Chain A
Amino acid sequence: MGNLIPFWFIVIAVLWTGFFVLEGFDFGVGMLHSFVGRDDVDRRAAINTIGPLWDGNEVWLIVAGASMFAAFPGWYATMFSGLYLAMVLLLISLIIRGVAFEYRGKRDASQWRRTWDVALTVGSLLAPFVIGVALGDLLHGLPINSSQNYTGSFWELFQPYAVYTGVTLVLICLLHGATFMSLKTTGSMRERSGRLARQVAPITAAAVIGFAIWTHVSSTGTFFLRPLELLAILAVLAAVWLVYERRDGFAFAATAVTMASCIVSIFVGLYPNVMVSSTNPAYSLTVDNTASEPYSLHAMTVVVIIFLPIVLVYQCWTYYVFRRRISREQFAAPDAAAAPAPSVPPPSVPAQPLPAREGPSNATSGTPPPARSRWMRGGRHGRKL
């Protein structure tokens, strides 16, 4: 086998991308669940759209971190020790968010649930922001000395490009989460998710366009945008259009492509560096001066080639199993776990036009609009803006 170092850089880029495309909508749902959910039942339903999925999605982050450790120990050591307090912040947000999912429904008290709602919202907001700042820092450069150690302070991490990357990722997560919930819910929740998506979409689009240009300027000297940056811009514009057209499925696909192309463009911009030194370009960490020895890379290549496809198969299957929309009614009983959930698929009756403006009656209405199959697109039947 030839030089595996570039291959492992690609693996790590793929893992980070997979993490953001998948966990990105979990973050979005986490941030938005209080806005989409008018009451506790709604919020439960919103959280349950990602209930079976988020844990498996988060593993992408863990594998990405461990792969950096194994394949590029120098990169892992410098990044995690240099960004020390940012990492603490990231860990705290991942922890409170992770347990919030599990603990929120375990007590039937509104104060308890609101507390975990806040934990879920804050955790889901901070995590992508901090990772975004970190990725932006990698590309834009940090004070790193000749022995590959970070010499700056905590606040030096928050340079403009890094903060902008963090904000952009949060905005993409928001839109990604909103399109995911439009795809996965019914009735008034779906309507509110769609409205949130339409509100967020233009802001996200502006941020992504700015991000593509800034990334381009800071990592290359050429005038023309590279295909990936162009793809990010086209995808986010397509997402805006599809969100307004209420094509839930395609809008979600477009936000996924937006997320993927933004993350990949950071890694493409980095290569062959992995952490740029602003102290002296000669001190920058590169794939070559941080990589593991060939034997280790070889051993791990065998493992990743065998297992990553298997993981993809069973994760895809999970998405297939949980493909149905979730409706508020499934959670209307005081204890949904005790009440049998409807096991028959929601009837795919021709959808009725959604109410022109969502009235207060809708949140508590006993006869909400019938649930529709995910394959029926709102754009055909839904109200025009």
Chain B
Amino acid sequence: MGLLRRPKGARVRLDLARWQFAFTTINHFFFIPITIGLAFLTALLQTAWHRNHQDEYLRLTRFFGTLLVINVAIGVVTGIVQEFEFGMNWGAYSRLVGNIFGAPLAMEGLAAFFLESTFLGLWLFGWDKLSRRVHLLCIWLVSFGSALSAAFIMAANSWMQHPVGYVMVKGKPVLNDIWAVFTNPVFVWGYSKVLVVSLTTGAAVMLAVSAWQLRHGGDRPVFTKSARLALIVLVPAILFTLLIGDELGVIEGRYQPMKIAAAEAQWTTCQPCSFSLFQIGGGNNDQTPTQIIEVPHLLSLLATNSWNGKVVGLNPLQQQYSKQFGSGYYVPNVFIQYWSMRAMAYLGALVLLISLWGLWLIRRGKLATSRVFLWVAVWAVVLPFVMNTAGWLLTESGRQPWIVQGIMLTKNGISPTVSTPWLWISIIAFVALYGTLGTVDFLLMLKYSRKELPPPRAEADADVPVPAVQY
């Protein structure tokens, strides 16, 4: 696709459309991993209640279920914005690839989102109307629906990273193999990563809330149980996040070499390649930053899974792309790539260390009394969110300048007739609205995290239906 000469206004509109999409997506993905993770954990708690009839599991289910619902509300409404934005801001893109990219989105609604939303209503309001078994099934269907929903979205997203299952007909990609879209290696690993990241986030939230309660005189035996559950989920989840993230890096490096080369600010080809822990300077205009503490062979290992693997540098890649796709600048923002990669990896490692510390305390039977750990666990809740955001920046910014790798440039994807004032109005509206609602959501989460547990039920009431949750 050749480079068209664009008037200056187009540059502004492109930037505004990108900022808007980045802003709304990052916000959306604050709520999604909490929903997927907490839905699963709440389902586990309710299953525990269902199996052993211990009252504290019921109380925990309702406590964390409330936190779940506060997030689902805003996750759902910010999701509608995402769906509309493709048509609103990225009309040319939608027109070109709708027959491929749209299909998983439509399937998501039909197969997953209906399921999640309908059964969430049944779960919330059905406590006293459904049998316990059916009611338990409802929360599992919510959990399943939210995870399945992410699968379709990730299939669509992975197609932008590594398009598969299509043929080019008159310059337009046309789907010819839907299975290829759902067996795309980028999808398989990317989706696995979203699942474990969501569990990490949900477990970190549950751990933080339990830790705060334990520090502030909450019901000790009960919140010790939820803290233990959170840690038992958190340790494998963060471990797999790191392992799957590594494999995903190798796979993306294969299909999007620019992304990985930029993540290491590797301008020239190297073999074997070392990994710098930090650097001073750097970016697209500084090809010789000062790299601090270089770990030999580590980049080769991360990017290729082999001790002496070769990583092609940005300059040779730029030459190759110019030859292949016509003249242009094909290097993503190196500063973002380099630092988001490190933020993600370092914070991930930190979460792993904290969770292992917690596990060790469980073994020693000191989880509920170690005030230092509890303090750290409360504040550690910030880490997964920063980690997730950095991960998405790495993935999406690393795809630039492509909107679909190798098929369409981002600048060619915007809606041709959407004007700059319209974009400004929408950005201001979304920032104001998301800012307000995000704050409200955060304050409500704080308020409900600090609430007392719902009261235990008297022996005599044990067989009476649990009251429904109501608005």
Contacts and interface: CB of A to CB of B under 8 A. Distances in A.
Contacts of B111: 303, 307
A76 B415 CA distance: 12
Contacts of B83: 62, 65-66, 69
Contacts of B87: 65, 69, 76-77, 79-81, 87
Contact of A70 (B79, B103, B126, B176): B103
A62 B448 CA distance: 30
Nearest to B457: A340
Contacts of B285: none
Given A77-B87, A94-B80, A103-B444, 8 more contacts: A54-B121, A65-B87, A66-B106, A79-B87, A80-B88, A84-B422, A341-B467, A343-B464
A59 B470 contact: no
Contact of B99 (A88, A98, A103, A292): A292
16 contacts: A51-B124, A56-B117, A58-B76, A62-B83, A63-B113, A73-B95, A79-B87, A88-B88, A103-B444, A105-B471, A107-B444, A292-B103, A300-B103, A315-B114, A337-B467, A338-B467
A67 B110 CA distance: 9
Contacts of A101: 73, 471
B466 to A, nearest CB: 8
Interface residues of A, number: 80
Contacts of A70: 98-99, 102-103, 105-106
A92 B175 contact: no
Contacts of A67: 106, 109
Given A76-B102, A299-B103, A341-B467, A59 B121 contact: no
A65 B82 CA distance: 11
Contacts of A78: 91
A99 B77 contact: yes
Interface string A86-110: 0110111011101101111111000
Interface in B274-323: none
Contacts of B471: 44, 47-48, 51, 101-102, 104-105
Consensus secondary structure, chain A interface: helix
Contact of B440 (A87, A90, A92, A103): A103
A80 B422 CA distance: 13
Given A51-B121, A98-B73, A340-B467, A295 B81 contact: no
B417 A151 contact: yes
Interface of A: 44, 47-48, 51-56, 58-59, 61-63, 65-67, 69-74, 76-82, 84-85, 87-88, 90-92, 94-96, 98-99, 101-107, 147-151, 154, 292-293, 295-296, 299-300, 303-304, 307-308, 311, 314-315, 318, 321-322, 330-331, 336-341, 343
Contact of A92 (B91, B418, B429): B429
Contacts of B169: 293
B113 A77 contact: no
Contacts of B121: 51-56, 318
Interface residues of B, number: 82
B425 to A, nearest CB: 6
Contacts of A339: 467
Consensus secondary structure, chain B interface: helix
Contact of A95 (B416, B433, B444): B433
A56 B118 contact: yes
A69 B102 contact: yes
Given A71-B102, A343-B464, A87 B118 contact: no
B142 to A, nearest CB: 11
A332 B125 CA distance: 17
Contacts of A47: 471
Contacts of A98: 73, 76-77
B408 interface: no
A314 to B, nearest CB: 6
A52 B107 contact: no
B175 to A, nearest CB: 5
Contact of B418 (A79, A84, A102): A84
B344 interface: no
Most chain A CB inside 10 Å of its own CB: which residue of B106, B129, B178, B455: B106
A51 B470 contact: yes
A370 to B, nearest CB: 20
B454 A338 contact: yes
B91 A80 contact: yes
Nearest to B129: A321
B91 A337 contact: no
Contacts of B91: 77-78, 80-81, 149
A215 to B, nearest CB: 25
A216 B232 CA distance: 64
B174 A307 contact: no
A106 B106 CA distance: 33
B124 A52 contact: yes
B126 A303 contact: no
B114 A51 contact: no
Interface in B63-77: 69-70, 72-74, 76-77
Contacts of B455: 338
A76 B94 contact: yes
Most chain B CB inside 10 Å of its own CB: which residue of A62, A90, A147: A62
B120 interface: yes
A52 B123 CA distance: 9
B200 interface: no
Contacts of B128: 340-341, 343
A85 B425 contact: yes
Contacts of A55: 76, 117-118, 120-121
Contact of A150 (B97, B107, B417): B417
A53 B415 CA distance: 35
A292 B467 CA distance: 48
B109 A296 contact: no
Contacts of A53: 121
A9 to B, nearest CB: 14
Query: What 10 pairs between A and B have smallest CB-CB spacing?
Result: A73-B98, A80-B87, A70-B102, A63-B109, A102-B73, A69-B102, A81-B415, A292-B99, A56-B118, A52-B125
A87 B178 CA distance: 30
Given A99-B74, A321-B130, A88 B467 contact: no
A105 B385 CA distance: 27
B426 interface: yes
A91 B434 CA distance: 12
Contacts of B89: 81
Contacts of A94: 77, 80
B204 to A, nearest CB: 23
A311 B110 contact: yes
B456 interface: no
Contacts of A103: 70, 73, 440, 444
A292 B98 contact: yes
A69 B86 contact: yes
